[in-house]
């Protein structure tokens, strides 16, 4: 754990050599949602591979770089591409960038993902603001000796997603005429999509959307005392009785359509976090 502290310091001081801003927000752009990065007034971009102790992204649709700058006047640091458990990384590796965002000064984690829609009221390319989650990953990024400098041994999860941010986001979406659902996200390990029986189970559990990311990053953000706001874009419909074979190009196309709405909503949300 001493080791993790040192690694965070090494990564943070490397980034500080190129960018001296203090981000208010750490933004994670999920699969197919990287387009938002174009709106950032980019002061510095750093490939993950250059940052000490950062893992390197293996997913083709992920650019794999850290973008530092401002979005509508708010200083932010954005991950264009994230790390997934299914790629083979440990959850400590997956969440390392969140530790670094916090160490740079970010008070809020804003996380996005592409997800399957379990709630039958959801349609393709719909947006969901995450109000709670279910963790079905077989590991936890906080497992192991706790470094009290990073956060408490037993972080409370009675409200991991910050209520005031959800309320502000819903009001902003209403103003913009963007339809925004609210729902429960369930994290699975992947890389396979789920069976019909599993989708039935996830629905019974109370999940509205399912994806292979986000929960580890949120756990570390909560552990480190950050506020959290999360969004899912519905890329496929997980209706057990009408399930179609997975079509990755279609998933990416739906992510892009939903991503356009997110690209309108998120800057207006971030603007209010200055």
Binding site for ligand HPA (CB under 6 A): 114-116, 188, 190, 193-194, 210-212, 235-236, 238, 251
- Residue 108 or 254: which CB sits closer to ligand HPA? 254
- Residue 115 or 150: which CB sits closer to ligand HPA? 115
Tokens of 200: 């039935």
Determine how β-strand 108-117 pairs with β-strand 74-80: unpaired
Whether 47 and 4 have beta carbons less than 8 Å apart is answered as no
- Residue 100 or 215: which CB sits closer to ligand HPA? 215
N-terminal to C-terminal alpha carbon distance within the chain:
33
CA distances from 95 to 51, 141, 262 (A): 14, 7, 23
Residue number of the CB closest to ligand HPA reads 116
Q: CA-to-CA distance for 217 and 109, rounded, in angstroms?
A: 9
* Neighbouring C-alpha atoms within 13 Å toward the C-beta of 201: 9
Closest Cα to residue 263, out of 115, 116, 112?
A: 112
Q: CA-to-CA distance for 112 and 185, rounded, in angstroms?
A: 11
Q: CA-to-CA distance for 265 and 269, rounded, in angstroms?
A: 6
- Residue 103 or 115: which CB sits closer to ligand HPA? 115
DSSP 196-259: HHHHHHHHHHT-SEEESSSHHHHHHHHHTT-EEEEEEEEEEE--GGG-----HHHHHHHHHHHH
Paired with 187 in beta bridges are 135, 211
Residues with Cβ within 8 Å of 9's Cβ and at least 6 positions away in sequence, in order, are 103
Compute the least distance from the CB of residue 105 to ligand HPA, in Å: 31
- Residue 34 or 116: which CB sits closer to ligand HPA? 116
- Residue 19 or 199: which CB sits closer to ligand HPA? 199
- Residue 104 or 128: which CB sits closer to ligand HPA? 128
- Residue 120 or 225: which CB sits closer to ligand HPA? 120
Q: CA-to-CA distance for 20 and 22, rounded, in angstroms?
A: 7
């Amino acid at each position: 754990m001493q080791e993790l502290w040192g690694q965070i310091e090494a990564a943070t001081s490397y980034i500080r050599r190129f960018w001296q801003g203090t981000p208010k927000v750490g933004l994670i752009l999920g699969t197919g949602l990287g387009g938002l990065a174009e709106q950032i007034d980019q002061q510095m971009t750093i490939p993950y591979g250059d940052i000490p102790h950062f893992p390197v992204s293996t997913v083709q649709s992920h650019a794999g770089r850290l973008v530092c700058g401002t979005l509508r006047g708010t200083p932010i640091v954005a991950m264009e591409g994230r790390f997934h458990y299914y790629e083979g990384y440990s959850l400590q590796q997956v969440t390392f960038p969140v530790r670094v965002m916090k160490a740079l000064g970010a008070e809020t984690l804003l996380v996005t993902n592409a997800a399957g829609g379990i709630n039958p009221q959801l349609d393709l390319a719909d947006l969901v603001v995450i109000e709670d989650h279910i963790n079905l990953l077989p590991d936890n990024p906080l497992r192991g000796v706790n470094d009290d400098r990073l956060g408490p041994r037993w972080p409370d999860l009675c409200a991991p997603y910050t209520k005031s941010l959800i309320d502000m986001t819903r009001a902003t979406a209403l103003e913009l005429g963007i339809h925004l659902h609210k729902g429960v996200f369930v994290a699975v390990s992947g890389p396979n999509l789920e069976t019909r029986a599993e989708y039935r189970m996830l629905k019974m559990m109370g999940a509205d959307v399912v994806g292979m990311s986000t929960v580890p990053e949120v756990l570390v953000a909560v552990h480190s005392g950050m506020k959290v706001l999360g969004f899912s874009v519905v890329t496929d419909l997980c209706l057990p009785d009408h399930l179609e074979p997975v079509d990755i190009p279609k998933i990416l196309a739906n992510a892009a359509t939903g991503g356009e709405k997110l690209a309108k909503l998120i800057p207006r949300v971030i603007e209010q976090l200055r």
